[in-house]
Structure 1
């Protein structure tokens, strides 16, 4: 079969991942753990963070980056955030404690999520964290907690409901915002209303710039009422590049149900955009240069002129190329001209399935024995469970060699959301451990287990 006739989606080159494979470390770890594992590349996280901070500096914007911890539970990324002068975005008391325990200062914590319980609000207020308030009853509870506690004021942002997401269960609409501002004023020294926040689905820059400009205007209005209102948070939503433009567009044009096990169908719009014209820190630069609708100046200029501090909460974008996932092949069967590979783990360790989608970057086959001449060997990848739906890769990926039991499959660039979100010890299978790989530039990479508390 001609390789050009089969859709592929190669991941962008990553020398650090290649070093783990080339040095034999991946095979060694697979043997040591006796099951699937994730390996983490924290130097990539640090490089991504540094690039985002540089983008803020180059745009002359006073800004601060919070790592969205929900994107990956590993402690090493919290440690790198703290060491790099960043904060952490948390949404539970456990995440807050984890961040504090790994060196993040309380005032560098952003607490998000809906309907926060009293314990979380108390911990956040005690440590001087910023709380993104999602509802009026939550604001009332925060005021009560602040008055009852030994800390004052509690620092809050009011989360705005975007007009384009009027059906969302998150955020305050215009009427609720007006009420919230009145309650912040009435709260006196119990509350410091620092500004506003939003979270916006999708990766388009213009809607994000438009909504950020609206938050700037809200800050100016709130100041006239006597509130602090000096910060806005625009959440995350900076895209990540997993593949090049030509490969992405060619894949979308070629793929069809025949290329998937059981002729599984996915809506193209449900796929993550595995290529973006601008991504990561470049997307942040482009966002700051965007002119919001009706404005004659860039978003960066609007923020600067208003004396606003810009807060970001990226997750996936900080984790680009910061890790990969490895499974061992347990069995292979032939079926209608392709192979069905079964590995020693489950699709719950590739959480794109959670969104009724597929993690599309091509898995890399790592043979455990000498291989024959290369060709094209389509194979889907199933899990070691009794569920028909438990497929890591419904697509018949085009491997260069026939997959065999004992070979390894490496899924590239999985640190952002794929390792955590949907994991479960189904069938009493252990969760894949996280291995931190340090100093990959040395002849032999060094590794250790991650220090996540739980």
Structure 2
């Protein structure tokens, strides 16, 4: 059930044996003491499992495919290292991300460079290292062609990014007329350029629109081949959902949550929240996408790709980071309010990025008492940050803690590796950024840890 007998709705995260092993080891209080502030711990073995499962889903469907890890989802070096070790690529959108990926073992030809209006330095690095460039506009294509014609570099590799018809107001991608012009310019560029296909990215998580647009890109590839272009690959971006909690808990939470369950009567619309449960998540969502029948085709997306001789490119972020890390804070203040408590922790909501999108990171944090005996009961509490901002709340919702939260106790926010732990972090108040701790071996009685090797 998602509602306690006496308190506000709860939203426990799905069980994660690796995180539970770290908890049971007693390592977290030592790390909190050593760092003197909040920290993140990373579980790269989970990344490996997720990546292999996606590669297996492609193989099972008989689809030639390649997975790029969307680096924007987490800055940690360890995930680029694991992608390189497992034969995957990395999706980058800045010169810094490109350098990081190269420096941690990712081959240049296994990079895809995305994003709008790319910096000239980024484009030059991409072409020099043989990266695949998802071209977002005609002027950007011209810049790539100029680099390829004027530099001592291998042929520039490009995808042409398509403006999704179902999202016509998107600022990304090219219209049909622009695509026709772009293909003509690729033909004129000759051997200096390899036009490898088309790409798109859709907001949201629905599978049918992705399958429909992927089939349209397959048709575009066939038209491009008539012009003499290679056009052998399509990229469908990311957007594979994950599940943080089970279906009953999630739906009950949405039906029962109301302003009284939040500090200061804060209100959220259900549409503001990430879908914390998905019936098909990660690799299962990919398998279902490949089995989806695009409109007007009469066959599956997998068959469309195979019939056209196309390689499918993916750029997942969150889906590769499911259960690959968590965030730990120390409680440094407790206040009583009318029927609930306000906890203040030694960090900011910048380390839980959902708050900065007018939303809330909903999976319940776990209380880790530091005293041998903590009073049991029901202790609702919101969680605030150690800043001077009234709105800087990690959790507006009154969490139904089953132990009395006290100063010195730890709070563990589960499954934060995907976008949460650092996409919006800032040294506000001159607070240091929380370090990232890599847990290399969770099967040991005493897990081994090290600091992540991120360069910057």
TM range (shorter): over 0.9
Q: What SS does structure 2 have at the residue aligned with 1:376?
A: strand
Post-superposition offset of 1:370: 2.4
Matches within 5 A, 1:321-360: 321-360=323-362
Which residue of structure 2 lines up, in the alignment, with residue 201 of structure 1? 203
Alignment of 1:239-250 (within 5 A): 239-250=241-252
Corresponding residue number in structure 2 for 1:129: 131
> For residues 239 and 68 of structure 1, what CA distance do their matches in structure 2 show?
14
**TM-score (norm: length of structure 1):** 0.99
Q: Contact 2:77/2:453 (CA < 8 Å) preserved in 1?
A: yes
Matches of 1:409 and 1:94, distance apart in 2? 32
Map of 1:255 onto structure 2: 257
RMSD: 1.0
Q: After superposing the two structures, state which structure 1 stretch, 330-339 or 147-156, moved more.
A: 147-156
| Counterpart secondary structure, 1:238 | coil
Residue aligned with 1:330, SS = strand
Residue 183 of structure 1 is matched in structure 2 by 185
Residue deviations 1:93-123 (CA, integer Å, cap 9, x gap):
1110110000000000000011111111111
Structure 2 spans left out of the alignment, 5+ residues:
none
Quick one: which of 266, 269, 275 aligns to 2:268? Answer: 266
Report the Cα offset of residue 351 of structure 1: 0.4
Aligned match of 1:6: 8
CA distance in 2, matches of 1:3, 1:334: 22
SS of equivalent to 1:327: strand
1:13-412 matches, within 5 Å, as 13-412=15-414
1:122–1:146 CA contact under 8 A, matched in 2: no
Q: In the TM superposition, what is the alpha-carbon distance from 1:2 to its structure 2 partner?
A: 5.6
User: Contact 1:376–1:400 at 8 Å: present in 2 too?
Assistant: yes
State the alpha-carbon separation in 2 of the partners of residues 47 and 271 from structure 1: 27
Change (3 A) 1:297 1:239: same
Deviations 1:399-449 (A, max 9, x none): 011110000000000000001211100000000000000110101000000
- 3-state SS of 1:18 partner: helix
For the residues of structure 2 that align with 1:324 and 1:443, how far apart are their CA atoms?
19
DSSP 3-state at the match of 1:99: helix
Normalising by structure 2, report the TM-score.
Answer: 0.98
Contact 1:118–1:145 (8 Å) recurs in 2 = no
Does the 8 A contact of 1:3 with 1:375 survive in 2?
A: no
Quote how far apart the aligned CAs of 1:3 are: 3.6
Q: Distance in 1 between matches of 2:150 and 2:118?
A: 17
After superposition, give the CA deviation of every residue in 1:182-217 in whole Å (9 maximum; x if it has no partner).
Answer: 111111122111000000000010001001000000
Contact kept, 8 Å, 2:375 with 2:404, in 1: the verdict is no
CA contact (8 A) 2:376 2:403 kept: yes
Q: In 1, Cα distance between the equivalents of 2:128 and 2:356?
A: 35
Deviations 1:348-396 (A, max 9, x none): 0000112110000000000000234532110000000000010000000
**Per the alignment, do residues 427 and 30 of structure 1 end up closer, same or farther by CA in structure 2, a change over 3 Å counting?**
same
CA positional deviation for 1:91 = 0.4
Instruction: Provide the rounded CA distance (Å) in 2 between the counterparts of 1:124 and 1:444.
Output: 42
TM-fit CA distance, 1:21: 1.2
- Secondary structure in 2 matching 1:164: coil
CA 1:3 to 1:367, structure 2 compared with 1: closer, same or farther past 3 Å? farther
The answer to whether the 8 Å contact 2:218/2:304 transfers is yes
Rounded to whole Å, the distance in 2 between the matches of 1:87 and 1:280 is 17
Whole-Å separation in 1 of the counterparts to 2:40 and 2:5 = 29
In 1, Cα distance between the equivalents of 2:366 and 2:154? 54
Distance 1:80 1:123 in 2: 23
> Which of 388, 406, 419 is the matching residue for 2:421?
419
Q: Which moved more, 1:193-202 or 1:183-192?
A: 183-192
State the Cα distance separating 1:5 from its structure 2 match. Answer: 4.2
**Contact kept in structure 1, 2:250 and 2:277, CA below 8 Å:** yes
- Is the deviation greater in 320-329 or in 177-186? 177-186
Instruction: Count how many residue pairs are aligned between Structure 1 and Structure 2.
Output: 454
Q: Distance in 2 between matches of 1:89 and 1:396?
A: 38
Q: How many angstroms apart in 2 are the aligned matches of 1:372 and 1:111? A: 51
Q: Secondary structure at the match of 1:187?
A: helix
Runs of 4+ with >4 A deviation: none
Task: Give unpaired runs (5+ residues) of structure 1.
Answer: none
Instruction: Tell me the distance in 1 between the aligned counterparts of 2:22 and 2:208.
Output: 39
**2-side partners of 1:151 and 1:371: how far apart?**
66
